[in-house]
Homo-oligomer: A and B are copies of this chain.
Amino acid sequence: MTMRLYTYWRSSASYRVRIAINYKSIDVEHCFVNLSPQASEQLAPEYAELNPQRLIPLLRDGDFTLHQSPAILEYLEELRPEPPLLPADARGRARVRALAAMICCEIHPLQNLRVTRYLQAELGCDQPAVQRWIRHFIDDGLRPIEVMLAGDPARGEFCHGSAPTLADVCLVPQLYNAVRHGCDLAQYPVLTRIRDACHALPAFRDAAPERQPDAV
């Protein structure tokens, strides 16, 4: 039975999952959930029934429903271990998961829709103030990753060695967002080199927001 991925072209967490699915050549049917303010399809009762948190991505595997991209990525890794997105050794896996968490737990949560809505509606932030907030926390999170990777012999062409891992799967969408919000990537020579190495792979390229059928 084909798995289903509920996704939105611009969602950074969906982008992560798309990369992993492509990289592992998993056959998945895409269901598009339009998160744009005009549509807000994630708030529709039918979707809330699938996911009370009203977030995407969401993966359906038969009667099993799974949300939260870090959990989905680990699940896909267990289901389809080849090609791997986690290193073979425990310390390598830990290192990769820490890099992924630096993005998923420290950067991305501060720029999502419900946060920027609160900034505007409750704290009266105008659009420039919201953009400053977003850029501040993206840079605040990317800087230590650049520092750590710059000095780490475990880094290779990718975040960890010479093949992509879950760290790259999370990094590439985060850098996409950084550009979108006007951060200056010249601060991150190591990270941008890794991104460019990822973009040389079709799995990463084909997962890009602009290449999705629901992109506008």
Q: Which residues of A approach B to under 8 Å, CB–CB?
A: 52-55, 64, 66-72, 74-75, 78-79, 90-91, 93-95, 97-98, 100-102, 104-106, 108-110, 114-115, 118-119, 122-123, 125, 129, 132-133, 136-137, 140, 143-144, 147-148
- Which residues of the other chain, B, contact A94 by a CB distance below 8 angstroms? 64, 66, 71-72, 74-75, 78
User: Whole-angstrom distance from the CB of A136 to the nearest CB of chain B?
Assistant: 7
Q: Which residues of B contact A66 (CB under 8 A)?
A: 91, 94-95, 98
Q: Establish whether residues B78 and A90, one from each chain, have CB atoms under 8 Å apart when the complex forms.
A: yes
Question: Which of A71, A100, A122, A136 has the most chain B CB atoms inside 10 A of its CB?
Answer: A71
Known: A90-B78, A144-B52, A144-B53. A97 touches B68 (CB 8 A): yes
**CA–CA, A86 to B195, complex, Å?**
32
What residues of chain B lie closer than 8 Å to A119, measured between beta carbons?
Answer: 123
Q: Contact between B105 and A105 (Cβ–Cβ < 8 Å)? A: yes
A117–chain B nearest beta-carbon distance, Å = 11
Instruction: With a 10 A CB-CB cut-off, give which of A54, A74, A98, A104 has the most chain B CB atoms.
Output: A98
Rounded to whole angstroms, the CA-CA distance of A42 and B57 in the bound complex is 35
A15 to chain B, nearest CB (A): 15
A22 CB to closest chain B CB (Å) equals: 20
Identify which of B54, B70, B100, B148 contacts A97 (C-beta below 8 A).
B70
Chain B residue at minimum C-beta to C-beta distance from A51: B144
A97-B109 in contact (CB<8A): no
CB atoms of A115 and B105 under 8 A apart: no
CB distance from A80 to the nearest CB of B (A): 11
A71's partner among B55, B97, B108, B118 (CB-CB below 8 A) is B97
- Say yes or no: A101-B71 contact (C-beta < 8 A), given A94-B66, A118-B133: yes
